[in-house]
């Protein structure tokens, strides 16, 4: 997107008119600004302004296409060896069991979700033991379906099925995907640096062995390990699982969020830098409206909410399958006789917890206290800004809005996103606070608030 803006500016300097036809976003980053022209830095304000943007419906299929000119002689794609040797190519063969790439696969996924997934989305989206999200994030990332197509299908299905709560929840997650790109455009440093500047001095523990245990699903905490093992097998994790795994890495193990971002980039089939960096910063406490730095996800509570019957753990950690529900998420609490009956020897078949909860809580509290003191000192030096906000880093981008030309006019109705939402206000009341998530924007979503760890539209 930044390269596109730079290309338009370069073309404008040459006197060349450029008329972009963007389909990746519902609203461009330079179209959603404060009254003074500055960008927003919190999701609630962005979402309120985003709802007022004009929505352009997808263009109809062309009635006919001009004949393509003959292709020049050249090499066949197979001759280029762009995928490396056969052994390397086979590494992703197992993903074909779970995904149908391409425009046709995207169309099926969208139609299926609109028909059966959207109506119950507001209730089911936090459940990891059942299909509960759209699984559209990889298709969106690779351009196999556009945000406008997804928006139109969701609005149509939500109105037809009279599911205003689910429609609102889903469109809000689609907006999280837009927000990730918005922040990356206006605050490009956030792709690998915290938005709250004082957190650059966060006292991370650079423990490679703990990081390996997390990546391999060997932390000893089943609700974390099951999702990390699912990631290796399928290239995907439910958005709530992403939040749990991300929070565990940065808050429990106190490992840098950039390490987790890089691992997700390497392994997620829907890896999306803008959405993923938004989600990781949210969980790490690096955003003004994200989780507090001292906030630690309660794994027992998450397990009860995300996988109450243990089905997810039993699928991805079959070693624990014979444990009763009362111990499936905490095998270290089972008696020796119960473990023996389940055929489990802790430390051999499944690891003991890498760290105990009290020590992890104590370490995080000490780090949060140090960062609060640093924030207070820097805020005082900058004129007394509230320490709870931290020293905020302003946007480093000042695009020439004259190069970001408005979209050309299209035939057909144009609707404000807010108009669509307001038309449902008689059926349900909606909140614009950050309090829920799907995983649409990169599906890093969060139920503890609205965050997305890639899977934007899961």
Cβ distance 166 to 375 under 8 Å? Answer: no
Please indicate if the annotation marks 270 as binding a ligand.
yes
Please indicate if the annotation marks 272 as binding a ligand.
yes
- CA-based angle 421:425:428, to the nearest 5? 110
Cα-Cα-Cα-Cα torsion 275, 165, 292, 183, nearest 10 degrees, comes to 30
Please indicate if the annotation marks 298 as binding a ligand.
no
- The closest of 272, 280, 270 to 249, measured between CA atoms, is 280
- The closest of 286, 255, 282 to 390, measured between CA atoms, is 286
- 326: which residues sit within 8 A by CB, 6+ positions away? none
Helix (H) or strand (E) holding 118: none
Please indicate if the annotation marks 134 as binding a ligand.
yes
Please indicate if the annotation marks 137 as binding a ligand.
yes
Please indicate if the annotation marks 98 as binding a ligand.
no
Measured distance CA(374)–CA(57) in Å, rounded: 48
- The closest of 262, 353, 254 to 299, measured between CA atoms, is 353
Upper half-sphere CA count for residue 63 (Cβ side, 13 Å): 0
Cβ distance 8 to 18 under 8 Å? Answer: yes
Distance of CA 348 to the CA centre of its chain: 34
Measured distance CA(253)–CA(342) in Å, rounded: 29
Measured distance CA(149)–CA(137) in Å, rounded: 13
Please indicate if the annotation marks 139 as binding a ligand.
no
Cα-Cα-Cα-Cα torsion 33, 39, 42, 45, nearest 10 degrees, comes to -10
Please indicate if the annotation marks 423 as binding a ligand.
no
Which residues line the annotated binding site for FAD? Answer: 133-137, 170, 270-272
Which residues line the annotated binding site? Answer: 133-137, 170, 270-272
């Amino acid at each position: 997107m930044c390269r596109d803006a730079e290309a338009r500016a370069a073309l404008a300097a040459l006197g060349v008119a450029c008329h972009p036809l963007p389909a990746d976003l519902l609203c461009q980053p330079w179209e959603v600004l404060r009254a003074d022209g500055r960008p927003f830095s919190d999701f609630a304000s962005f979402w309120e302004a985003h709802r007022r943007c004009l929505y352009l419906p997808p263009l109809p299929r062309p009635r006919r296409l001009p004949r393509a000119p003959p292709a020049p002689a050249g090499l066949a794609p197979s001759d280029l060896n762009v995928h490396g040797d056969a052994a390397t190519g086979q590494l992703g063969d197992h993903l074909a069991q779970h995904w149908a790439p391409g425009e046709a696969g995207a169309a099926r996924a969208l139609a299926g979700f609109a028909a059966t997934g959207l109506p119950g989305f507001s209730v089911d989206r936090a459940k990891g033991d059942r299909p509960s999200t759209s699984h559209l994030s990889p298709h969106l990332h690779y351009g196999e379906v556009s945000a406008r197509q997804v928006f139109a299908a969701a609005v149509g299905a939500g109105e037809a099925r009279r599911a205003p709560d689910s429609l609102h929840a889903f469109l809000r997650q689609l907006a999280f995907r837009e927000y990730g790109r918005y922040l990356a455009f206006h605050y490009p440093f956030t792709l690998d640096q915290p938005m709250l500047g004082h957190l650059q001095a966060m006292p991370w523990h650079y423990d490679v062995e703990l990081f390996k245990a997390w990546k391999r699903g060997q932390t000893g905490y089943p609700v974390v390990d099951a999702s990390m093992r699912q990631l290796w097998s399928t290239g995907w994790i439910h958005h709530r699982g992403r939040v749990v795994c991300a929070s565990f890495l940065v808050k429990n193990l106190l490992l840098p969020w950039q390490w987790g971002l890089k691992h997700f980039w390497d392994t997620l089939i829907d890896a999306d830098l803008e959405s993923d960096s938004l989600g990781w910063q949210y969980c790490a406490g690096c955003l003004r409206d994200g989780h507090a730095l001292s906030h630690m996800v309660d794994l027992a509570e998450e397990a009860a909410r995300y996988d109450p019957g243990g089905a997810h753990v039993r699928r991805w950690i079959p070693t624990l399958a014979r444990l009763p529900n009362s111990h499936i998420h905490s095998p270290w609490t089972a008696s020796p006789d119960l473990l023996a009956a389940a055929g489990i020897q802790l430390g051999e078949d499944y690891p003991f917890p890498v760290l105990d909860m009290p020590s992890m809580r104590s370490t995080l509290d000490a780090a949060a206290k140090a960062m609060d003191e640093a924030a207070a000192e820097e805020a005082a030096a900058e004129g007394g800004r509230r320490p709870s906000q931290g020293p905020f880093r302003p946007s480093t981008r000042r695009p020439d809005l004259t190069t970001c030309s408005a979209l050309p006019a299209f035939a057909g109705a144009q609707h404000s996103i807010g108009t669509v939402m307001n038309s449902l206000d008689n059926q349900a009341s909606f909140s614009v606070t950050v309090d829920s998530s799907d995983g649409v924007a990169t599906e890093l979503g969060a139920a503890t608030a609205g965050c997305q760890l890639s899977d934007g539209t899961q």
